[in-house]
Amino acid sequence: MDFSLPKEIEEKRNKVREFALREFTDEKKRYYDEHEKFPFEIREKGFKEGIFGVNNPWEQLVTIEELFRVDPGLGNSILSSAFGAEVLMLFGNDFQKKKYLEPVLKGEKIMGFATTEPVAGSDVAGIASRIENKDGYWLLNGSKMFITNGTVADFFLVLTRSGPSPSEQKRHHNMTMIILESNCPGVSRNKLYGKMGVRATDTAEIIFDNVKVPNENIIGEVGKGFYYAMTFFDISRIYIAAQSIGIAEGAVDMIIDKVKKDEKFSTMESVQFAIAEIITKVEAARLLTYEAASYLFEFKPDPTLTSMAKYYSADVATFAAEKALEITGVDGAITSLERLFRDAKIMEIWEGSTEIEKLVIYRSFIKKVMQK
């Protein structure tokens, strides 16, 4: 069993690391965080230099790690431009791929993925936004919340209800996923200010008021939207695990920075133990994530492993950031580490909270056990 990544993947890792260290300067990190602005120019540069790419998923994974290691907010602005693209790749038709997916992959357009609603976060089956079939088109009403790229995306993939729930147990039935262009009449978007972290990432509430959606913008089959969303979460949760590993690595970098500057600091066993604990957890998180990723990238996703990777890595990210602040003290608190601490917490919330991951882990595990 070989645990090392191929040479070209490690080369990509080095390239991304070099890019992030060069482009994510302390001034930029602080500016975009403070002003809660989306860094269009950094995103463009990332595309121009070939930082973003979906051809090799392993490359994508190490890219996420290295960008988040230096700054999660800025890193996410590059990576999330294609947030939800996998749904189009897997379930979109040729017309949709050409019209919507291609420009995104070239960096010409930005997309978003909209499932969460004001009253339905973790409970995806509880969404209330709906589309009605009219003569030759669909009419969309409702609202979405916490949508990444909410005010900067050119279009969204929107999960919506296309019919009533057959029963309480089958609330996930009758959902449909659609492509919605941002400039459609009836779409209004309100940027959410005051996030604790990932503040360079654009997040918004979106309201749909009698928005006309053409038939050609229905993805896959009507009524299969929940399945498409869950398929995507099986992919995106791997990415969140990689984001978390990046943050934890970034916290380690900040500790090492102090170790290099302060000889006395690293002679203390409490510091040595803290570093040992963090790097052990990071290694465990990475192994778990890569194992889950290896199944996914072979088109055999294992939801148990995926959710384990997301849950554990997110936990490691917050642990590492907290521990790093604890031992570096004020030195850490007045540097990028304070931002990493604020950024780390979202890992336990977005793309399925830790509580949801635990439910998925149990349910998929017990299903396997009972089938034996």
Partner 1 sequence: MTMDEEYKVLESVLKEFSQKEIEPVNKNIELEGLSTDLKNKLASQGFLGALAPFETGGAYLDRLGYAILLREISSASPSAAFYIFIQNSLVIKSLMKDNNMEIISKIASGKISGTMAYSTRLNMLDPGHIMKNGNMIEGVLNAVFNSSGNIFIVNIEEENNLYMIDSGYEKLPNHEQLGFRGVTFSPVKFKSSNFKPLSTKMDEIIEDIHLPVAAIAIGIANGALSKAISYAKERDAFLHKLKDFQPLAFNMSQAYSELDSLNTYLVSVAEGQKDLKKEMMLKTVSLDFARRTSKLALQVHGGYGYLMDFGVEKFYRDAMFLSIVGGHSLKDKVKLSELIFESKAGWI
Q: Indicate which residues carry an active-site annotation.
A: 351
**Residue 38 vs residues 58, 73, 159, 200: alpha-carbon distances, Å:** 26, 9, 25, 5
Work out the number of other CB atoms within 10 angstroms of the CB of residue 216. 11
Of the residues 53, 57, 107, 126, which one makes contact with partner 1 according to CB under 8 A: 126
**Which residue in 100, 209, 95 sits closest to 154, CA to CA?**
100
Dig out the tokens for 81 from the structure. 């431009």
Q: Smallest gap, in angstroms, from Cβ of residue 54 to partner 1?
A: 27
Of the residues 342, 357, 360, 361, which one makes contact with partner 1 according to CB under 8 A: 342
**What's at 174, amino acid-wise?**
N
**Would you count residue 328 as binding partner 1 (CB under 8 A)?**
yes
> Which 174-203 positions form the footprint of partner 1 (CB under 8 A)?
192-197
**Which residue in 221, 202, 222, 192 sits closest to 156, CA to CA?**
202
**Would you count residue 30 as binding partner 1 (CB under 8 A)?**
yes
Q: Smallest gap, in angstroms, from Cβ of residue 45 to partner 1?
A: 24
Asked if 77 contacts 33 with a C-beta cutoff of 8 angstroms, the reply is no
With respect to partner 1, which residue has the nearer C-beta, 124 or 288? Answer: 124
**Would you count residue 284 as binding partner 1 (CB under 8 A)?**
no
Asked if 73 contacts 28 with a C-beta cutoff of 8 angstroms, the reply is no
Strand bridging mode 137-148 / 187-191:
unpaired
* Stretch of 72-80, 233-241, 276-284, 318-326 lying at the interface with partner 1 (CB under 8 A): 318-326
With respect to partner 1, which residue has the nearer C-beta, 135 or 263? Answer: 263
Strand bridging mode 155-161 / 111-114:
parallel
By rule CB under 8 A, what count of residues binds partner 1? 50
Q: Smallest gap, in angstroms, from Cβ of residue 122 to partner 1?
A: 6
Q: Smallest gap, in angstroms, from Cβ of residue 269 to partner 1?
A: 6
**Would you count residue 268 as binding partner 1 (CB under 8 A)?**
yes
Dig out the tokens for 214 from the structure. 């053409």
**Would you count residue 68 as binding partner 1 (CB under 8 A)?**
no
**Which residue in 220, 217, 139 sits closest to 178, CA to CA?**
217
**Would you count residue 350 as binding partner 1 (CB under 8 A)?**
yes
Angstrom distance (rounded) from CA 111 to CA 90:
16
**Would you count residue 269 as binding partner 1 (CB under 8 A)?**
yes
With respect to partner 1, which residue has the nearer C-beta, 66 or 315? Answer: 315
**Would you count residue 326 as binding partner 1 (CB under 8 A)?**
yes
With respect to partner 1, which residue has the nearer C-beta, 234 or 315? Answer: 315
Q: Smallest gap, in angstroms, from Cβ of residue 335 to partner 1?
A: 7
Angstrom distance (rounded) from CA 329 to CA 132:
56
**Which residue in 246, 257, 332 sits closest to 74, CA to CA?**
246
**Residue 217 vs residues 99, 100, 304: alpha-carbon distances, Å:** 11, 10, 32
Q: Smallest gap, in angstroms, from Cβ of residue 362 to partner 1?
A: 11
Dig out the tokens for 211 from the structure. 């928005």
Task: Catalog residues that contact partner 1 under the rule CB under 8 A.
Answer: 30, 116, 119-123, 126, 145-146, 168, 192-197, 258, 261-262, 265, 268-270, 318, 322, 325-335, 338-339, 341-342, 345-346, 348-350, 353-355, 358
